[in-house]
Structure 1
């Protein structure tokens, strides 16, 4: 079973509009797609689409929290959340005809120390039954900076692999807890290491350096140019086939979910990268955030190249 932890859940609304977004005007929405959101819930759908058992946990609250649980039920995603006093947030993604995406992300509302302690006790019980645990996304307000470090150490003390997918100071402050895998982009790995990282060679060097700190797999996203992965077997670059992008939102979360599945299935790291990248590419071909067709992903695997670079 894959356990996903989403601290900052949301109701995600994808607004498809028939014309270019114009500031200061009334825009008519042609289609609205509601999903249970937050990076970990996108990862949960990825796990389920891959055919593995998944359980989603984290924080939910208020009417939006109840709606979120209903949307997960609709998607067939089992969940066991800690209920909090504040309302779950909403986020909006505006999709224009040319494929341009504009996101409006609400901050998560206040979480108390007592609610965090409730989650820690809950996580200890759930993680004991999991094969892999993922921790995804930003913090709602009120959580201390070391929240992920606390949760990672808890999961690792149970002997379970832990994937961390977050950003900025939250990611940098959690590295020393040694999650099994992290998935920064080039800017984020540069922030962790305290230097600018831009060229592919610099990415390769940075990924290897971070791996040597004790993180088993460092996967650096290069956007449309693929990804670099450093691990004990070496350093590899994955290059996905060219596709027509419909909605790229949630592709990174899909990749994390697919990595968790491939870890649980004991795939070799190079095959984990190929599998996860194919699923992420398939996500970009779907209008619905965090959804993809597994048959499309299987078709993309043959065209996904993974080559050793160091």
Structure 2
């Protein structure tokens, strides 16, 4: 089983509009898609799509939290959340006819010290029955910048892989807990090293430096349409997915983390993990609904996804 931890869950609404967005004017929405959202919940859906058992945990609260759980139950995904007194946030993604995407992300409502203690106990409980645990996204006020370091250390002490996908102080402050995998972009690498890699060669060197300096087994750097770089004990690899007609890119990074969790749980070699995860992430870009993809599409894309040792 894979456990996903989402401390800043949301109700994600996708608005598709029929004409380009005009600032200051009334916008008529053509279609609406509601999802149980937050990076970790997108990750959980990816794990389920890959055919693996998954349990989603984190914070939920209020009417939105109840609706979120209802949506996840309808999707057939197990969940075991900590209930808070404050309302779960909402996030909007507006997609124009050109496929340009504009997001409005609410902050998470504050949580209490008791809520934090409850999620620490919940993660410790679930880690014992998990093959892999993922930690995804931002955190609400009240968690503090050390929350992921504490939770990752709990999972690692249980002898289980911990995958961390976050940014800023949350990422930098968690590295001494030695997460199994991190997935920074070049801005996040800059936050770790104090410099931003520009060329492909600099990205490769930076990924290796982060891995060796902090004891992270796998550092995966997303390059958007240019693929991804992975540094691991086996060496450095570049993955490049086939060109596709993109519908919605939101959630593709979360899908990649979920697919990596499945690949690690199945004992795949690192290069095969990268190929599998990139194919699933690309398949996510083919659907309008955030964090959803068809496994058949991922399998087709996998055949054309190149992974090369650098």
Distance 1:98 1:229 in 2: 32
Provide the C-alpha distance between the structure 2 equivalents of 1:288 and 1:175, rounded to a whole number of angstroms: 32
Structure 1 spans left out of the alignment, 5+ residues: none
- Aligned to 1:30, what secondary structure does the other structure show? strand
- Aligned counterparts of 1:119 and 1:216: Cα–Cα separation in 2: 25
Q: Which runs of 4+ in 1 moved over 2 A?
A: none
Query: Residue deviations 1:141-164, cap 9 Å, x none?
Result: 111110000000011110000000
Counterpart for residue 108 of structure 2: 108
Distance 2:191 2:238 in 1: 21
TM-score, normalised via structure 1 length: 0.99
Summarize deviations over 1:188-211 as a string: whole Å, max 9, x none.
Answer: 112111112111101000001111
Q: How many residues align?
A: 309
The separation in 2 between residues aligned to 1:128 and 1:84, in whole angstroms, is 24
Query: Is 1:180 the counterpart of 2:184 in the alignment?
Result: no
Q: CA deviation at 1:224?
A: 0.6
Residue of structure 2 in register with 1:132 after alignment: 132
User: 1:143-154 residue pairs with structure 2 within 5 A?
Assistant: 143-154=143-154
The match for 1:23 is: 23
Residue in 2 aligned with 1:166? 166
Question: Which residue of structure 2 lines up, in the alignment, with residue 301 of structure 1?
Answer: 302
Show the counterpart of 2:255: 254
Q: Is the aligned partner of 1:122 residue 2:122? A: yes
Q: What TM-score, normalized to structure 2?
A: 0.99
Q: Distance in 2 between matches of 1:52 and 1:200?
A: 34
User: Hey, what does 2:269 align to over in structure 1?
Assistant: 268
Unaligned runs of 5+ in 2: none
CA deviations on 1:116-149 (whole Å, 9 max, x unpaired) are: 0011111111110000000000011111110000
Q: In 2, Cα distance between the equivalents of 1:8 and 1:135?
A: 11
User: Which residue in the other structure is 1:58 paired with?
Assistant: 58
